[in-house]
Amino acid sequence: MSIVLITFIVVYLGMMLGHLPWLKVDRASIALGGAIALLATSELTQTQALASVDFGTIGMLFGLMLISIQFEMSGLYGAVSAAVGQVQTRPSILLALLIALVGVMSAFLTNDVVAVAMTPVVLSICLRRGLNPVPFLLAIAFSANAGSVATLIGSPQNMLIGERLQLSFVGYMAYAAVPALLSLGVVWLALMVFYRGHWPLQRPGAMDQGAPSATAATPPLDRWETIKGLLILGVVLYAFVFTEWSRGLVAASAGAFMLFNARFMSRSMLHRMDWGLLILFIGLFIVNGAFQNTGIPQQLVGDLKAAGFNLQHSDVLFALSAVLSDITSNVPTVMLLLPYAGDPEAGPLMALASGLSSNLIIIGSLANIIVVDAANARGLTISFWEFAKVGIPVALSTLLIAWVWVRYLM
């Protein structure tokens, strides 16, 4: 038991820090190392380790990643963001169109992939039109996080919650769609308030003009591959809504179908996969499963309940999910807290909390980091405070909206 407890503490310390002291190791490697350590010390058998992995969630994540990659390689993301950029209108309207586009796409595709594909295109459009890129880049991050909470396939933690709690696709949207839409409105309003009068690019010389052009890296639109991807996504959504088929198997089958492609090399598609995220999921499934088997969490929950702190209450899970998601990251937080989600509202509240709290600070989600790193690569620094001064009010107000909607208006 002591080895399991030590491994669990080390792994979640790594989730909190993003690395381990004095080592250049990321979260995925830490989770994998913890899982292997438990197997190597015989604290867990191979059968137990396999039984703790939720292959439905892994399959759903794998398949939807490949569908998103299909859209990225077919040029859909670049084409739609460029189309928005060509609209000749005021910056405020352009910002609203961008937020709506990213929010909707993030609800039905992996939000991190949307951020990867659209950030360089939007940055290039802003520079070409002489607009300050910062509010538009922040709009991508904020709306990707906010839009992703609308469905069970908008983010990895939503997929996990949906699979573990067997939530209805449509039933979940009844809880989450309205808070997601209102949150997108809050994002627009906050950016309008904080960047009023700061729409023009003030220091064009500060940008790295020698950096590679963002548009040059964007593939041209392939209509056939785009239509094929949209049809497959439509089939997947139909299966999720109208059938009882395994969502993980449906998504994995759709992703595998994408690999049999006459236009793109399957190796290129697999190379773009976020294997680190899949490894993180598998490692955390095993580590958390071993920790649950020790009985320590159950004893701790009982002691807390006796002290008046009921971890199984949905409001408590909502608050903990929101706070811990910005400390240990949202996926590890959801894995840690899911065993205590017994209330019917607990699943939707956890998904809303983990997604909307991601807008608080830069490290709140991978989408945030992607946007900030892409800006830095072009010589545009988005500081911690530049992000947080908008992210804090956005996160807190949208969390309040979500909680009030689920608890009092549903």
Cβ neighbors of 244 (< 8 A, separation 6 or more) are none
Above 70 in pLDDT, residue 207?
no
In contact, 176 and 356? CB cutoff 8 Å: no
Q: How is the chain split into domains, by residue range?
A: 2-409
- Partners of 289 in the β-ladder: none
pLDDT band at 1; cut points 50, 70, 90: low
Cβ neighbors of 52 (< 8 A, separation 6 or more) are 285, 286, 288, 289, 290
Tell me the C-alpha distance between 118 and 136, whole Å: 11
Q: Between 15 and 183, where is the model more confident? A: 183
Q: What is the pLDDT of residue 215?
A: 45
Task: Kindly state the average pLDDT of the residues 397-404.
Answer: 97
Cβ neighbors of 137 (< 8 A, separation 6 or more) are 119, 122, 123, 126, 371, 372, 374, 375, 380, 382
Q: What is the average pLDDT value for the chain, to the nearest integer?
A: 90
pLDDT band at 288; cut points 50, 70, 90: very high
Q: What is the pLDDT of residue 245?
A: 93
The residue written with tokens 């959504």 in the block is: 237
Above 60 in pLDDT, residue 24?
yes
User: Tens digit of pLDDT for each residue in 213-231?
Assistant: 444 467 888 999 999 999 9
In contact, 339 and 297? CB cutoff 8 Å: yes
Q: What is the pLDDT of residue 197?
A: 84
- Tell me the DSSP string of 337-365: HGGG--STTHHHHHHHHHHHGGGSSGGG-
Query: What is the phi-psi region of residue 295: left when phi exceeds 0, alpha when psi lies from -120 to 50, beta otherwise?
Result: left
Above 70 in pLDDT, residue 184?
yes
Above 70 in pLDDT, residue 211?
no
Above 50 in pLDDT, residue 63?
yes
pLDDT band at 205; cut points 50, 70, 90: low
Task: Kindly state the average pLDDT of the residues 157-162.
Answer: 94
Task: Kindly state the average pLDDT of the residues 342-356.
Answer: 93
In contact, 25 and 274? CB cutoff 8 Å: no
Q: Would the pTM of this model clear 0.75, i.e. be above it?
A: yes
Q: What is the pLDDT of residue 198?
A: 86
Q: What is the pLDDT of residue 214?
A: 43
User: Tens digit of pLDDT for each residue in 85-115?
Assistant: 788 889 999 999 999 999 999 999 878 888 8
Tell me the C-alpha distance between 33 and 22, whole Å: 16
Q: What is the pLDDT of residue 256?
A: 95
Most confident of the ranges 60-64, 119-123, 207-211, 375-379: 60-64
Above 90 in pLDDT, residue 262?
no
- Residue 386 CB burial class (10 angstroms; 0-12, 13-18, ≥19): middle
